[in-house]
Amino acid sequence: KHLQTALPVFSSNLSLSKFSPKILNITSLHFLFSSFFFLGGLPLIPKTTMRFCVFGFLSLILIVSPVSAWFFPNSTAIPPSLRNTTRVFWDAFSNFTGCHHGQNVDGLHRIKKYFQRFGYIPETFSTNFTDDFDDVLKAAVELYQRNFGLNVTGELDTLTIKHIVIPRCGNPDVVNGTSLMHGGRRKTFEVNFSPRGGGRGVRLHTVKRYTLFPGEPRWPRDRRDLTYAFDPSNPLTDEVKGVFARAFGRWSDVTALNFTRVDSFSTSDITIGFYTGDHGDGEPFDGVLGTLAHAFSPPSGKFHLDADENWVVSGDLESFLSVTAAVDLESVAVHEIGHLLGLGHSSVEESIMYPTITTGKRKVDLTNDDVEGIQYLYGANPNFNGTSPPSTTTTTTRQRDTTGGFGAAGRIDGSSRLTIFSLLLSTVGFFLWFLP
């Protein structure tokens, strides 16, 4: 904990320029280790004692180094070395394009796991799936196509696969057999699985165009002034915290809720953290893109984001061709806060609560559908004028980054200077240790 507090101050005292918290941690720790290594080579200190300290410190780094996300002022600041690694798992789904009922295709069980994760196959089914395109998978594909307004074929056609691999929210679209997405008025119908699947149906339940979690959970009337806090293991800058403040403000502008940031993570109503992989809530993250974030219905207040993403905090989403996967942090934050307040996924693509968002896209303004949903739960803000600004969904052209990793103007930034200095220290330390 003391190390996490000291590193930003340490770097600040060296007049380092702003850079990613994850880069800050790794670079600063590298510098400290290099310093220990250099000091260990000096004849003033017994080498046996210093070796113990050096390798003990190295072990401490590997054990307690906190998880931080990648943050960039804009996508052109993302080093080209951070290649787009998303497509390792989800893009393999493209191999199943054209698969249909009755086929047996190697690896098809992974598609079933995808659909089960987002609720399209009930959890009561075994997770030991086969590679058969059976009735269970066909029903799941049809429901998915219906939710996203695709042509309902029951096959993994090109458009369906193309949609499946789009980055998305980690919250399910179907909960306990109830779809949270299907648009229109209240509608119920049954989808029958094969006899081996028990014949269980999936019930579609919708309210107006916006959707709610089953049971319509919401924050109680005596908790309309909500607090939020960030996981102290995430060393976030004020700029990043400001993104979340704006996201909360978009919801408080239209409804009778107020949000205040506090320091106490353990006592706040809403807790926000960046994590990787399995982080203890049963919903593991999967690396770059894929699942971006998830949040739980009220009054849980848990809001988790994937620390492996390339988060852009400024809204400038200029990207370079096929090098990075820049995701707008505010767009994702506004969506997940909707879940925290009780809204489910919407099948209206323009809505904030639509489950997917492509890279290079910014969507932060509430649509009328979002406003109607949140006001159904909490009422309107007395100062709200009754109209919602149009959704600002912009996609910018991609361009290749030419800065190398040395800053936006070709200058060596603070992290690079510290890295170079650390390498020099390590080199000198090597000669002090091993030369007579």
What residue numbers does the annotated binding site for Ca(2+) cover? 269, 286-287, 306, 309
Binding residues: 169, 269, 279, 281, 286-287, 294, 304, 306, 309, 335, 339, 345, 353
25-29 contacts, C-beta under 8 A, 24 or more apart = 25/65, 25/66, 25/68, 25/235, 26/65, 27/415, 27/418, 27/419, 27/422, 28/418, 29/61, 29/65
- The torsion defined by the Cα of 421, 427, 429 and 435, in degrees rounded to 10, comes to -160
How far is it, in rounded angstroms, from Cα 355 to Cα 363?
12
Helix (H, G, I), strand (E, B) or coil at 212: strand
Binding residues for Zn(2+): 169, 279, 281, 294, 304, 335, 339, 345, 353
Helix (H, G, I), strand (E, B) or coil at 175: strand
What letter does residue 92 receive in the DSSP assignment? G
| Amino acid at residue number 337 | I
How far is it, in rounded angstroms, from Cα 307 to Cα 30?
21
How far is it, in rounded angstroms, from Cα 269 to Cα 305?
17
How far is it, in rounded angstroms, from Cα 54 to Cα 35?
9
Is residue 87 within a helix (H) or strand (E), and if so which, with residue range?
none
Active-site residue among 336, 349, 350, 372? Answer: 336
Phi-psi region for residue 378, left (φ > 0), alpha (ψ -120 to 50) or beta?
A: alpha
330 is catalytic: no
Q: Are 317 and 78 in contact (CB under 8 A)?
A: no
How far is it, in rounded angstroms, from Cα 55 to Cα 226?
45
Q: Could you tell me which of 101, 100, 96, 128 has the C-alpha nearest to residue 113?
A: 128
Q: Are 82 and 70 in contact (CB under 8 A)?
A: yes
How far is it, in rounded angstroms, from Cα 396 to Cα 433?
53
Beta strands in 307-409 (DSSP E): 310-312, 326-328, 361-363, 393-395
Residues acting as catalytic residues: 336
